[in-house]
Structure 1
Amino acid sequence: MIRKTARIALAATALCAFAAEAYAVEWNVSVWGKRRAFTEHVEKLAELVAQKTNGEFTLNISYGGLSKNRENLDGISIGAFEMAQFCAGYHRDKNPTITVLELPFLGVSTLEQEVAVSNAVYAHPAVQKDLARWNAKLLMPSPMPQYNLAGVGDAPTGLDSFKGMRVRATGGIGEAFRAVGAVPTSVTATEAYSALESGVVDAVAFAQHAHLSYGTIDIAKWWTENLNPGTVNCPVVVNIDAYEALSPEHRAALDSSIEPAIQHYLANYGKLLDRWEAVLKEKGVQKVRLPESELQAFRDKAAAPIRDAWIAQMSAQGIPAQELYDLVQETLAKTR
């Protein structure tokens, strides 16, 4: 009787251990570079999910160990990993709908507005269908402030200064600089420092965190503080099959952690912006502020023409381009 009871207890223990092991979920997350303001919401999401599930659901974040940044969407599509971050401008043909968020001079002026317009676009059925082609579900944005240039050589004094300038700029920002005679190139963020150092490019368009993280501000001689042509859109996505396979409890833990992760990101980025001026002074970088007349000329050359061309091109592909653009503007109006 004692031996029988022991066997039953042992079997029950083994069954419980197996169930616990089977219930544990581990996701691999592909990002790139190093931990920085751009990835803080992913880090916070992992922390919150683990806390809410008592460690039963974990996100293992890899900085470049799983995939190249331009291949993260492909990795998601084949289930090579469950979550990833990517930028729309890296492969515009693969995610045409969200490139509306990379059009120049949209009028976004704060990170909170960037979150609002991104979430509105991500929720549109045409956008969800677009990303579903890659088995990807849009989870959250990676809001960034307006891009500006850090460069070497002579500092720009007006639009004429950009003629022939080789600029690292992707998406709509690249098209904006092309409109004023610059030569945009879409080298990846991780290649930007070496491109600037070796003279492959004369200037790099980044948000402040990226100029810091990738070291471009360390070799720059000048920085444009008020060009503000636009920004890039870099969503965090999850593999649809992996998301749907989650238990209701794990899915709730993930979904409920998105908003606090974004709020953490915004607070952290705000601290970075607060010390940006000190960084420029410390590194001896000249601040370049173009006259309003030159900025308006930039907008005249780049905003409407690029927007109209985008709408025509996307509409020809069956994408509700005008509807998506209007959605951005309507959301901005409500947010303001």
Structure 2
Amino acid sequence: MFSGKLSVAVMAAAMICAATFAEARELKLASFVPPQHPMDRGAITPMVEAFNAATNGTSTIKIYPSGELGSGPVQQYKRVVTGVADIVFGIPEYTPEQFPRTTLMNLPGLFDTPDVGTTALWTHYGLFEPDFAQVKMLAFWTNSPAILITREKPVRGIADLAGMKIRVPDPAAAEMAEAWGAIPVSTPTTEAYNAMSTGVVDAVWIGPSGIGSYKLHEVGKYLVTNLPSPLATFYLAMNKDSWAALSPAEQAALEKASGRELSMAAASAFAKAGEEGLSLARKAGLEFITLDDKSTADLREKSKPVLDALAADASSKGGFDAQAILSAVSGR
């Protein structure tokens, strides 16, 4: 009798263990950046480590870096919506038609630092929420305004930009570069080094954190600041079904590991990476040029019709008031 009871107990314990392991899930996080990238170290890995530690293995997140679940940032939102990945790291500016409200934040001159930009995103998140209606938002932040690194020619005013081939980060920047008399060239950041070293472009317009990430200090001679520059937005988003499948305790753990606090940490990581990039450029001997107020004002004057047209176009296509969004987040 004792042996029979023991067997029943063992079987019951085994069934409980089997059920526990059956319920345990490994969530896939798709990232197109390598593990050493500032955003992996500053946002993605900290969130994953905090969640995995809090759940004691009932569910875990595994990072698939460097495009292992699909290369490049363009398809990231589609990957999370369709369930190819449970969580993705993405950049709205690569697919502006998907994020018409969010990409307004890319218009130059709105914010001076990633902390200010990220605070504005979270304070007014309701204005951007329709862009992310298909997912559960986990984190949302900005980087630093872009700087210009040139290959041979110094830029000290708008006249110096005439005819210069500039790698631009997005369509809005391309239209601005044209308004300044330059020739915009659209190329991924991963190809910026080769494009500049071979003369395909004369300059690269990029956030300062990209200097170190893409070794641009090795191929540039001049670095220009105080441009009316764009910054980029970034997000970590989760498939809604994957979110719903988590237990309440797991959802609480992920909420704690993400959200506004993680976003502000990511913004700070970008600011730090930007300073490190500028430091690399100084050590490499690049000449730093800070545009004077008149030069910056000239660029803003040339940019204004472009920016007004972009806002009007966003309003007409999206059915929302783009100028109201811009005024709310920038306080202007």
Is the TM value for this pair above 0.5? yes
Contact 2:210 2:274 in 1 (8 A): no
Shift of residue 18 of structure 1?
Answer: 1.9
Aligned partner of 1:91 in structure 2 is 95
TM-score by length of 1: 0.89
Contact 2:115 2:268 in 1 (8 A): no
Contact 1:116 1:331 in 2 (8 A): no
Shift of residue 191 of structure 1?
Answer: 2.0
Shift of residue 4 of structure 1?
Answer: 1.5
Contact 2:208 2:278 in 1 (8 A): no
Shift of residue 277 of structure 1?
Answer: 4.6
Contact 1:38 1:209 in 2 (8 A): no
Secondary structure at 1:94 match in 2: coil
TM-score by length of 2: 0.90
Contact 2:115 2:264 in 1 (8 A): no
Secondary structure at 1:60 match in 2: strand
Q: Counterparts of 1:247-266 in structure 2 under 5 Å?
A: 247-258=247-258, 259-266=260-267
Q: Which amino acid aligns with 2:317?
A: Q
Shift of residue 275 of structure 1?
Answer: 3.9
2:116 aligned with 1:113, yes or no?
yes
Aligned partner of 2:219 in structure 1 is 219
Secondary structure at 2:291 match in 1: coil
Aligned partner of 1:314 in structure 2 is 314
2:83 aligned with 1:79, yes or no?
yes
- What are the Cα deviations for residues 154-213 of structure 1, in whole angstroms up to 9, with x where unaligned? 111211111222222114333222220222233222222222222222211221221211
The 2-side partners of 1:232 and 1:263 are apart by 15
* Correspondence for 2:108 among 101, 104, 107: 104
Deviates further, 87-96 or 272-281: 272-281
Aligned partner of 1:66 in structure 2 is 69
Shift of residue 328 of structure 1?
Answer: 4.2
Contact 2:106 2:233 in 1 (8 A): yes
Contact 1:49 1:257 in 2 (8 A): yes
The 1-side partners of 2:50 and 2:57 are apart by 10
The 2-side partners of 1:309 and 1:274 are apart by 33
2:137 aligned with 1:138, yes or no?
yes
Shift of residue 274 of structure 1?
Answer: 4.4
The 1-side partners of 2:216 and 2:278 are apart by 16
Shift of residue 55 of structure 1?
Answer: 3.0
Secondary structure at 1:317 match in 2: helix
Q: How large is the RMSD of aligned CA atoms in angstroms?
A: 2.2
Q: Counterparts of 1:33-48 in structure 2 under 5 Å?
A: 33-34=33-34, 35-39=36-40, 40-48=42-50
Q: Which amino acid aligns with 1:235?
A: Y
Count of equivalent residues:
326
Aligned partner of 1:330 in structure 2 is 328
